[in-house]
Amino acid sequence: MCGRYTRYLPWSEIHRLYRLTLDWEKQRNDAPAYNVAPTEEVPFITIAEDGNHKLRQGRWWLVPYWAKEVPKFQMFNARSEEADAKPAFRDAFKSKRCLVPADGFYEWTKSPADGGRDPWYIFLADHRPFSFAGLWAYNSTLDITSCTILTAPAENPMSNLHDRQPVILDPSAYEAWLDPATPVSEAKALLSQNLDSDLQFYRVDRQVNSSKFKGGEEMITPIDMRTAYGL
């Protein structure tokens, strides 16, 4: 799963991951986002006509090009094992693959103390930026651009927290993943070129649990487990 993520680093840091050429793309500097939630507008990267990367903006909740209304069932994640065959995702998987910039995400476990939901912040070493493998679509009827994040069975260390995790694509796979000429079978194989085994995590405060809470650095500050559980 990936139901909440962060994108707080300066755009200049994130920009180094991509081959953006337009001035407005390079100069963009979004406000820090410490609790990005489904249905919010988010930036994502696609391929441009000249072969460079293109920055787009859209709803984090895929709306297929053929939909007559926004789907009510969850569309912010797509299972990588089956997305190429599912009607809601297969067209996007074939020719509209994207990268979603981030620098961390959250997952939850059940508290041994009170049964509540304990949030964990998950990130790469040095809190460096990365890209989720994603799919995107444009629905002309509803005039909605949207995207979704692909997930896969969890590997170590994420399997200690959850049975699934978002696919964090290795930069070496970016070009082939974005290229619509890459056959579906090859694109699917590219998802194994990921950084998921390099993840680290620690517990953070439960204020993250509310998607309406849009705080600052305190949202990704590790907490003392003994204090949290009153030990």
3-state SS, one letter per residue, for the chain: CCCCEEECCCHHHHHCCCCCCCHHHHHCCCCCEEEECCCCEEEEEEECCCCCEEEEEEEECCCCCCCCCCCCCCCCEEECCCCCCCCCCHHHHHHCEEEEEECEEEEEEECCCCCCEEEEEEECHHHCCEEEEEEEEEECCCCEEEEEEEEEECCCCHHHCCCEEECEECHHHHHHHHCCCCCHHHHHHHCCCECHHHCEEEECCHHHHCCCCCCCHHHHCCCCHHHHCCC
Give this prediction's pTM.
0.94
The per-residue pLDDT for 2 is: 87
Is 107 catalytic? The answer is yes
The per-residue pLDDT for 15 is: 85
Residues of the chain with pLDDT under 70: 225-231
The per-residue pLDDT for range 6-49, each reduced to its tens digit, is 999 998 888 889 999 888 887 888 899 999 999 999 999 999 98
Domains with residue ranges and CATH for the chain: 7-32+39-107+128-155+162-196 (3.90.1680.10)
**Catalytic residue from among 40, 107, 217, 218:** 107
The per-residue pLDDT for 12 is: 85
**Catalytic residue from among 2, 25, 98, 147:** 2
The per-residue pLDDT for 230 is: 43
The per-residue pLDDT for range 197-211, each reduced to its tens digit, is 899 999 999 999 999
